Structure 1
Amino acid sequence: MKASSTILGILGAAAAGAFIGVLFAPDKGSNTRKKIKDKSKDYGDNIKTKFDNVVSTITSNGKEILQEGKSKLNQVKEDYNTLKDDVKTVKSNY
């Protein structure tokens, strides 16, 4: 999560910088408001895309980890059953 927090922080700082730059640029008020609105929409879309990518990555990795865990659990169960059968065999020979 640290990487996603860093990405969101960088995007937020860039948005704030662009916003301040537009406010201090010499232009008519209506043009400035339009630029702010357009930039805000662009940054919002960009942040949403980044967030969706982070969520997708986390979900994908979570599914892989879960699948690997299930596989390991099944292997442990098989090993346990084999060991249990071996113990029964040894007991029956004595």
Structure 2
Amino acid sequence: MKAGKFIAGIISGAAIGAIAGILFAPKKGTETRKNITDKSNEYMYGAKNKYNDLADNLSHRYDSVKSKIRGKSRQVENSMDGDDKIIY
């Protein structure tokens, strides 16, 4: 029953908030929709930028690790100097 009351509270709170927002809205509906669209576009642009920054950061880290592994691999190859034995 606790979950049912919680969900009912969320739904009724959202309905009351929507009604209050409509009653006390200081702007016309067209202005409000334009503001919502503009803010949505700003958030999407910001989210895309953050995603691209994260992807670039991960790509650079991947390249760095890959080059370190290649360097270590070359060191191992050079240290073997033609010996086919690998000593652990």
Q: Percent identity?
A: 5
Q: Structure 1, unaligned stretches of length 5 or more?
A: 1-20, 88-94
Q: Which amino acid aligns with 1:36?
A: R
Q: CA deviation at 1:77?
A: 0.5
Partner of 1:42: 39
Partner of 1:9: none
Question: Counterparts of 2:78 and 2:50 in 1: how far apart (Å)?
Answer: 42
- Over 2 Å off, 4+ runs: none
Query: In structure 2, which of residues 69, 73, 79 is the aligned counterpart of residue 82 of structure 1?
Result: 79
Query: In structure 2, which of residues 50, 53, 56 is the aligned counterpart of residue 56 of structure 1?
Result: 53
Question: Counterparts of 1:86 and 1:77 in 2: how far apart (Å)?
Answer: 13
Structure with greater helix share of residues: 1
Q: Which amino acid aligns with 2:39?
A: D
Question: Counterparts of 1:76 and 1:66 in 2: how far apart (Å)?
Answer: 15
Structure number with higher relative contact order (C-alpha < 8 Å, ≥ 6 residues apart): 1
Question: Structure 2 length normalisation: TM-score?
Answer: 0.63
Q: CA deviation at 1:86?
A: 5.5
Q: Structure 2, unaligned stretches of length 5 or more?
A: 1-17, 84-88
Partner of 1:90: none
Question: Counterparts of 2:82 and 2:70 in 1: how far apart (Å)?
Answer: 20
Partner of 1:69: 66
Question: Structure 1 length normalisation: TM-score?
Answer: 0.59
